[in-house]
Amino acid sequence: MPPPPVTAAAAGTWTLAGRTIHRMGFGSMHITASPDRDLAITVLRRAVELGVNHIDTAAFYFSPGGPLDVGSGPTRYATELIREALSPYPNDLVIATKVGPGYDPVTGAFLQAKTPAALRAQVEENLRRLGRDHLDVVNLRILKRPGSDSVAERFGALAELRDAGLIRHLGLSNVRLDHVDEAAAIAPVACVQNSYALDNGRANDALLEACGERGIAFVPYFAIAGARREGGAGTDHDEAVREVARAHGVTPHQVRLAWTLHQGPHVLAIPGTGDPDHLVENIAAGALRLSPGEVARLDALVVEDA
């Protein structure tokens, strides 16, 4: 008989939103792309069966349909898939979502919520689609604009919604350390979610370290995709990644995830997939232990960020 699959517990734990979660989580962006709704539901349920108790999502994670793309079928929202798959939710499950980016429901135009009213509308949309009366974690995602991108007003608006009981914990996404400092003066910052991979996003090395010193979770997205970003996992891996993978009998994608987790006990992985087999592989990466020499070799694969 084959051995039982590795569970998310192999990655270790961290405290987020007042609960102990496994550091290997699940990102829900890709599940909306599956043409098979039942398969997306299966992947979500399988993730929880394998010990995942931290799911990342956003109301703007969807596959267009209806008014945004007439004739393509119904719009499929990640938040609604999560509700269908997992509600009533397990007591230990932490769902983290994001506000800031969004789309006009009529024109499909991309927009950024900048006012308290717009942010509240996005929070309420998350509540409605997830079927909850509160949100565990809400990350304010911004578009960085040097010199004119204060988060104080927007983060303050979310802090008011936290005080009103709609949100339990707050975080930030796509930010710099000065944004974290600014937000922390308003309300506690539970997590920071930025693009980060062994060969991309390494401008965030100092931010990752600062979060660890402050007890803030650092949650990398695109840890597998790297510079491909929304394009997803690719096959173009540096030879160092391939050699480490061969030495451990694993895939290069698993090495990338393992390296991510090796960056600190406060680092939480959220790989996403719509494939049940890839889900099992991703979670198994939490059990991969790299030697100090292997980590150092992979650390050296720094590329210049655009």
CA distance 126 to 295: 38
Tell me, what's the pLDDT at 110?
Answer: 79
Peptide linkage before 88 cis (omega within 30 of 0): yes
Spell out the per-residue pLDDT of the chain, length 306, in tens.
777 889 999 999 999 999 999 999 999 998 988 778 899 999 999 999 999 999 999 988 887 654 444 334 456 899 999 999 999 999 999 999 999 998 776 676 778 898 999 999 999 999 999 999 999 999 999 987 666 689 999 999 999 999 999 999 999 999 999 999 999 999 999 999 999 999 888 889 999 999 999 999 999 997 886 554 554 555 567 888 899 999 999 999 999 999 999 999 999 999 999 999 999 999 999 999 999 999 999 988 876 554
Strand residues in 58-132 grouped as ranges (E): 62-63, 76-77, 94-99, 101-103, 110-112
CA distance 296 to 10: 22
Return the closest-CA partner of residue 253 out of 230, 275, 274, 284: 284
CA distance 162 to 154: 13
**Which sign does the torsion angle of CA 15, 59, 73, 29 carry?**
negative
Q: What single-letter amino acid sits at 126?
A: N
Contacts of 257 (CB under 8 A, 6+ apart): 24, 223, 224, 269, 271, 282, 285, 286, 288
Q: Is 225 exposed, middle or buried (0-12, 13-18, 19+ CB in 10 A)?
A: buried
Structure tokens at 129: 């689609």
Residues involved in catalysis: 61
- Long-range contacts formed by 108-116: CB under 8 A, 24+ apart: 108/64, 108/67, 108/68, 108/69, 112/142, 112/143, 113/154, 114/154, 115/157, 116/153, 116/157, 116/160
CA distance 255 to 245: 6
Q: Which domains does the chain have, with CATH numbers?
A: 8-299 (3.20.20.100)
Tell me, what's the pLDDT at 68?
Answer: 41
Return the closest-CA partner of residue 218 out of 229, 206, 227, 230: 206
Tell me, what's the pLDDT at 69?
Answer: 42
Structure tokens at 266: 């406060």
Tell me, what's the pLDDT at 149?
Answer: 85
Phi, then psi, of 137 in degrees rounded to 5 = -140, 135
Tell me, what's the pLDDT at 222?
Answer: 79
Tell me, what's the pLDDT at 74?
Answer: 53
